[in-house]
């Protein structure tokens, strides 16, 4: 449940949304892509107020936004190639050569070129997460939304995924909004960190500014990083 939240995210920024479980982080993302409708207030995307859009009106907005969910949610019966091509076939009228070009580019961006013929069960969970990212990137969104992208990953793969988020944001010049509970990840790659508690922003700033915060919740998050 969000309450009185006011947040402006600049084009090209990598913004981490941090907070404890149930504080409204994922709700924020779902409001942005129209999966939920706010009871009041406004949502502006690219200069357009979208909070009361119908499902049909929201379609072009969703094409600007690529969402990477917590779990890969790949189609087990399809090859990696077909998984990445799925959204392209569904949303665009493209010839096969164009689809192949976009799939190849997306898989190269996440360092997975050469596994097109495999199926999800034949690759690791970390690789599946990267395929999920490739599927989203293939649609060339201007805004990337990540919902707990490193949950369930080992430290090495977590570092790799975070680096991918940073590299993709810079290379593709996208705006990236990352919902997470991992302060260490946020301190490493975020331009700005926003901390939510009970549906409200309690602190925000650059990683350097967050390190100087005196807010108890922020200090708790920082303590976990220092203890690690």
Residue 199 CA to residue 196 CA, distance in Å, equals 6
Structure tokens at 136: 């989203």
**CB of 158 within 8 A of CB of 78?**
no
Residue 112 CA to residue 175 CA, distance in Å, equals 23
Largest alpha-carbon pair distance within the chain? Answer: 56
* All domains of the chain in start order, with CATH: 14-227 (3.40.50.300)
Sequential pLDDT tens for the chain (228 residues): 777 788 999 999 999 999 888 788 888 988 898 888 888 999 999 889 999 999 899 988 888 898 888 888 899 999 999 999 999 998 888 999 999 999 999 999 888 988 999 999 999 988 998 899 999 999 989 999 999 888 877 888 888 888 888 988 888 889 999 998 888 889 989 999 999 998 889 999 999 999 999 999 899 888 877 655
Strand partners of residue 68: 146
Give the DSSP letter string of 33-52. Answer: TTSS--SSS--EETTEE-TT
Instruction: Check: pTM over 0.75? Answer yes or no.
Output: yes
Contacts of 97 (CB under 8 A, 6+ apart): none
**CB of 225 within 8 A of CB of 187?**
yes
Residue among 111, 112, 89, 109 at smallest CA distance from 99: 89
**CB of 68 within 8 A of CB of 29?**
no
The pLDDT assigned to 227 comes to 59
């Amino acid at each position: 449940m969000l309450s009185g939240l006011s947040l402006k995210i600049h084009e090209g920024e990598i913004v981490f949304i941090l907070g404890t479980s149930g504080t409204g982080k994922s709700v924020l993302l779902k409001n942005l892509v129209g999966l939920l409708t706010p009871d009041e207030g406004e949502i502006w995307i690219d200069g357009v107020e979208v909070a009361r859009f119908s499902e049909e009106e929201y379609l072009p907005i969703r094409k600007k936004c690529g969402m990477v969910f917590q779990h890969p949610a790949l189609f087990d019966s399809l090859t990696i190639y077909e998984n990445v091509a799925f959204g392209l076939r569904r949303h665009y009228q493209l010839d096969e050569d164009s689809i192949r070009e976009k799939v190849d580019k997306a898989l190269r961006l996440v360092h997975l070129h050469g596994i097109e013929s495999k199926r999800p069960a034949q690759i690791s969970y970390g690789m599946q997460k990267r395929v999920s990212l490739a599927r989203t990137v293939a649609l060339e969104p201007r805004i990337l939304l990540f919902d707990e992208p490193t949950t369930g990953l080992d430290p090495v793969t977590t570092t790799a995924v975070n680096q991918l988020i940073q590299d993709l944001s810079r290379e593709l010049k996208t705006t990236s909004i990352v919902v997470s509970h991992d302060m260490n990840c946020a301190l490493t790659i975020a331009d700005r960190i926003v901390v939510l508690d009970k549906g409200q922003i309690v602190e925000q700033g650059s990683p350097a500014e967050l390190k100087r915060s005196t807010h108890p919740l922020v200090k708790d998050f920082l303590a976990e990083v220092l203890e690690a």
